Amino acid sequence: MEIKDLYQDLKNEQMVEFIARVRSNRDGKKVSFLVLSDGTTIHDVQVVYKADLKNYHDVSRVRVGSILAVEGVMELTPTRDQPFEIKATNIEILDEAIPDYPLQKKEHSLEFLREIAQLRARTKTFNAIFRIRSLAAFAIHKFFQQENFVYVNTPIITSNDAEGAGEEFGVVTYDQNHKPLITDFFNKKASLTVSGQLNAEAFAQAFKKVYTFGPTFRAESSFTSRHASEFWMIEPEVAFNDLSANIDLIERMLKFVFNDVLINGLAELTFLATVNEPGLVEKIQTLSTSKYVINTYEEVIEILSQAVAEKKVNFENNKISFGLDLGTEHERYLCEVVNQCPTFVINYPKEIKAFYMKLNSDQKTVGAVDLLVPGIGELVGGSQREDDYEQLLNRCEALKINPTDLSWYLDLRRFGYYKSSGFGLGFERLVMYLTGTSNIRDVLPFPRTPKNLLF
Ligand code: 4AD
Ligand code: MG
């Protein structure tokens, strides 16, 4: 049996047996108490045992972290927090943990737990976070599969810098002296992908609706609580969609995920509300139904410069004018203070966005969309794609991107291409938002960040 099953089958006097790990062991005068967890649910089980156990002496000394096989009888306890406890009839010690097992019963800081990432998933907080992560991933697949999208696995090793930001990790081989050979293997420079978008666009022309869900890599040296060097991204791409259909897709997908996680992860969310973010459950309930705001970039510049002029806010960067690449402080002020809800910002100046975005008729903005959310900032980045071959070539030249490297991608525009839109959702940022976690290092099982490659 698993502990999850026990919670789903509450029957007084029923015989149960299960294997679980010791969270605490309290030796009392008349009766003693073990608190056990097997990870299958956020809930622990309390096991009561007495001196009549044949190995009582050993069990009473069993340490935190050890693994036990328990046989016993369920006794319902409707007046207490825990709906039942188990009166042990037999306890077998399967393996003993050493005395300085790092996860003793006291509370540990998230920073301390980060140093022992191989163990931290055993704590209640991380049990909840990583189960929500798993539920959210499944919910995303459910949403897209239900909507007839094709799941496409785009390459991890690539020769293109899809975002043109020069933040790629190189892929090399080594000679006998461990000297890196940069172009040896593929006969060209290779790197880990920063985005599967360009390949997804090719598949969207074949299937109309596709999505990727995979690891992405960025060698950004930004040392923030929202950037990781290895993170997971969901990138849907839909042929014939314009920007407004793209925005609609983002909102529907998020609301589906919020609803699904509320249904399937309520116990975890309820627990996380007590340790990470008060009001978490209500926040997600609201997000699953409320309207999100849309602002144009131009409106945002107006809102921000007015707020600065009226001294309502003092940013680190108060120079707000058209062309500014919005910083996190600006993004968060907009969605947290001004709108107080998720906010789509659309039509950014072309200079601050990627080469593949559709040039608007004003010739100075592109059909881009970012979704900014309170507490996080940018959660989603997407756009309508440039569908004009010559225009795309111009953008490559303006941004010093060699078009021959991307000829296969540019050629898509010559083989019949009518509008295409898509977006990238940073999966860790979504998990942070869902779990009320403030550091991306705590939603990645084994995080990779600058100067940090442990585990
Ligand atoms: O805005 P980005 O760079 O967009 C793209 O990569 C497009 N190709 C997406 C598309 O249109 N198909 O990244 C998308 C999202 C960001 O909004 C953010 O949530 C997340 O990916 N992201 C990161 N998450 C964690 N760590 C990082 N270093 C991230 N960089 C981007
Ligand atoms: Mg972006």
Ligand nearest to the CA of 167: 1
| 227 CB burial (10 A radius; 0-12, 13-18, 19+) | middle
Distance CA 63, CA 101 (A): 9
Any ligand 1 atom below 6 A from CB of 382: yes
Q: Is 220 in the pocket of ligand 1 (CB under 6 A)?
A: yes
Residue 21 φ/ψ, nearest 5 degrees: -100, 145
Q: Is the CB of 35 under 6 A from ligand 1?
A: no
Residues 421, 242: Cα–Cα separation, whole Å = 6
Please report the atom of ligand 1 found closest to the CA of residue 424. Answer: 9
Which residues, 6+ apart, have CB-to-CB distance to 209 below 8 Å? 144, 147, 148, 149, 150, 236, 237, 238, 239
Q: Whose CA is nearest to atom 14 of ligand 1?
A: 424
- Closest ligand 1 atom to residue 236 Cα is 12
165 Cα nearest atom in ligand 1 = 3
In Å, how far from its chain's centre is CA 450? Answer: 19
CA distances from 167 to 151, 189, 217, 280, 384 (A): 26, 14, 8, 34, 23
With 0-12 CB in 10 A as exposed, 13-18 as middle and 19+ as buried, what is 167?
A: middle
| DSSP state letter for 329 | H
CA distance 102 to 120: 10
**Whether residue 441 has its Cβ less than 6 Å from ligand 1:** no
How far CA 209 is from CA of 145, 241, 418, in Å, comes to 10, 10, 14
- Going by CA atoms, what residue is nearest to atom 23 of ligand 1? 426
Which ligand is closest in space to the CA of residue 429? Answer: 1
Tokens matching residue 419: 């509008």
Closest atom, ligand 1, to C-alpha of 371: 17
The residues with which 69 forms a beta bridge, in sequence order, are 19, 92
CA distance 257 to 224: 26
Structure token digits, residue 326: 């919005």
- pLDDT tens, the chain, 455 aa long: 999 999 999 999 999 999 999 999 998 889 999 999 999 999 999 999 999 999 999 999 999 999 999 999 999 999 999 999 999 999 999 999 999 999 987 889 999 999 999 999 999 999 999 999 999 999 999 999 999 999 999 999 999 998 988 899 999 999 999 999 988 899 999 999 999 999 999 999 999 999 999 999 999 988 899 999 999 999 999 999 999 999 999 999 999 999 999 999 999 999 999 999 999 999 999 999 998 999 999 999 999 999 999 999 999 999 999 999 999 999 999 999 999 999 999 999 999 999 999 999 999 999 999 999 999 999 999 999 999 999 999 999 999 999 998 999 999 999 999 999 999 999 999 999 999 999 999 999 999 999 999 99
Ligand nearest to the CA of 358: 1
